[in-house]
Amino acid sequence: MAPSVPPIPVLDLSTLVDRPFIRIDGTNYDIRHPDEFSLVQQLRQQRQAERVMLLVQAMVEKQASTADEEEYVSILDQSCRAVLIAPDAIHEKLRDDHRLAIVKAFTELLLEKTRKRAEATPPDQPPSTNSGTATSLDSPASTMEIPSGG
């Protein structure tokens, strides 16, 4: 009798993600995995990162208004709170350069995910918008808005 070969699935999905973490003052805090964000949320994060970079450039060139500086602080805080899972007290202790580093770390994870997806897609097929590892549709992460903290 020939050995039984397990069937090959047409689609193999996983809703589990391993969250990366960062260390703040000796304590580890998770950052959300890009797969926990919907496509719309990922695009929002990318747009906010692009806007932050434009505002930084304007500040470096001394062309930023007070409103630009306030927008920079606001976007950076919102983006950081969206990706860093930490109590409000931790978020409030962070300086803007800390927030920028946290958002940059998340953006690099997002870009790495996009690169891997592009490498895995045959040249004659468009890339899929579903990596197969996103959280369940009925989970809070699938409709996650920018968290209010904590």
The reply to whether 110 falls in a domain is: yes
Contact 10, 129 (CB under 8 A): no
- pLDDT for 147: 44
The reply to whether 42 falls in a domain is: yes
The reply to whether 88 falls in a domain is: yes
Q: Considering its fold, how many domains does the chain have in total?
A: 1
DSSP designation for 121? S
Phi–psi pair at 109, nearest 5 degrees: -60, -40
The reply to whether 56 falls in a domain is: yes
The reply to whether 21 falls in a domain is: no
- pLDDT for 86: 98
- pLDDT for 132: 45
Neighbour count for residue 67 (Cβ, 10 Å) = 8
Phi–psi pair at 48, nearest 5 degrees: -65, -40
The reply to whether 124 falls in a domain is: no
Taking the C-alpha atoms of residue 61 and residue 93, their distance in angstroms, rounded to an integer, is 28
Which one, of 149, 150, 142, lies nearest residue 42 by Cα?
142
List the structure tokens of 10: 């047409």
- pLDDT for 127: 55
Burial of 79 per CB tally in 10 Å (0-12, 13-18, 19+): buried
- pLDDT for 125: 58
| Amino acid at position 132, single letter | G
What radius of gyration do the chain's Cα atoms show?
19
The reply to whether 17 falls in a domain is: no
Domain that holds residue 71: 30-114
pLDDT tens readout for residues 4-25: 888 898 888 888 888 999 999 9
The reply to whether 46 falls in a domain is: yes
Q: What is the pLDDT along the chain (150 residues), one digit of tens a residue?
A: 667 888 898 888 888 888 999 999 999 999 999 889 898 998 898 899 899 999 999 999 999 999 999 999 999 999 999 999 999 999 999 999 999 999 999 888 888 877 877 787 666 655 555 544 444 444 444 444 444 444
